[in-house]
Amino acid sequence: MPELPEVETTRLGLLPKVKGRRIDEVIVRNRRLRWPIPRNFEKMLAGQTVGDVHRRGKYLLWDCGTGFVLSHLGMSGSLRILQAETAALVHDHVDIVFDNSLVVRYHDPRRFGAMLWLAGRELDHPLLDKLGPEPLSSDFDGNYLHAASRGRRTSIKEFIMNGHVVVGVGNIYASEALFMAGIDPRRYAGTISRARCNKLAESIKQTLANAIRAGGSSLRDYVQADGELGYFQSEAQVYGRDEMPCNVCGSHVRSIRQGQRSTYFCATCQK
């Protein structure tokens, strides 16, 4: 499942291939994603030249001058760079064909992802309006987390996964960051002290930055983004390790459900 590090790695892989390139053709094979791909999508993109590719949370925003392509990988999506003549396979829903005979191919078996056209220069789309700060920016720190969580009775784990609080913290990294910070995922967000909010904010930054670094070095100039990289799983301290010994204290890692999501934690190390 693509998390923020995979999305950032995808962005870094795409950028040198598409920046400054003209879009010759767009092929849509299935419009039924998270939201339907708009009817005018192909027409709006054809002939556009891609400038920068930005990331906001897990959204990628392709600057095309007169508008932006907004893409999201959902939980099973990938964007790959291929030679234009490469045959499409099942679940290859969109091709963006460039003037250098490369194609950016969007593949998404579960179709939880998105591909939209945002007309104009203003990124004032409702999907982007209410998003919280970027976790790796200076806008996100312990003071922010502390202030934002006062009075909130949701669990700290669900709280940091809420995109209106902070973007890009997915299920894996939420469990890992809480383990690193030594915080029980079931605690009410509003009861976490300022000192522990500082620790948690730093842990979130560190887990995400580590994963981006690992992804970037293992991928180089090739975009592989369907979340099957395994570079993070191999380093996971608690995620997916139900009943296995905690790497720190040896007691069994536990698995629980929070908000219809699985959470992994060590009840000895996390209080």
Contact of 120 with 66, CB cutoff 8 Å: yes
Work out whether 230 is an interface residue with DNA (CB under 7 A). Answer: no
Among 38, 51, 109, 216, interactor with DNA by CB under 7 A: 109
Binding-site string for DNA from residue 139 to residue 158, where x marks contact by CB under 7 A and - marks none:
-------------xxxx--x
Catalytic: 126? no
Contact of 41 with 117, CB cutoff 8 Å: yes
Q: Which of residues 37-96 bind DNA (CB under 7 A)?
A: 57-58, 72, 74-76, 90-91
Residue 243, number of CB atoms within 10 A of its CB = 8
User: Of 78-86, 105-113, 139-147, 205-213, which part binds DNA (CB under 7 A)?
Assistant: 105-113
CA angle, 49 as apex, 45 and 50 as ends, to 5°?
90
Instruction: Name the residue nearer to DNA (CB basis): 97 or 180.
Output: 180
Work out whether 234 is an interface residue with DNA (CB under 7 A). Answer: no
Work out whether 127 is an interface residue with DNA (CB under 7 A). Answer: yes
Helix H, strand E, coil C: the string for 209-243 is HHHHHHHHHHHCCCCCCCCCCCCCHHHCCCCCCCC
Residue 99, number of CB atoms within 10 A of its CB = 13
- Closest CB 270 distance from DNA, rounded Å: 18
Report residue 88 CA to chain centroid gap: 25
Which residues form the interface with DNA (CB under 7 A)? 1, 3, 32, 34-35, 57-58, 72, 74-76, 90-91, 109-112, 126-127, 152-155, 158, 163, 168, 170-172, 257, 259-262
Catalytic residues: 2-3, 58, 261
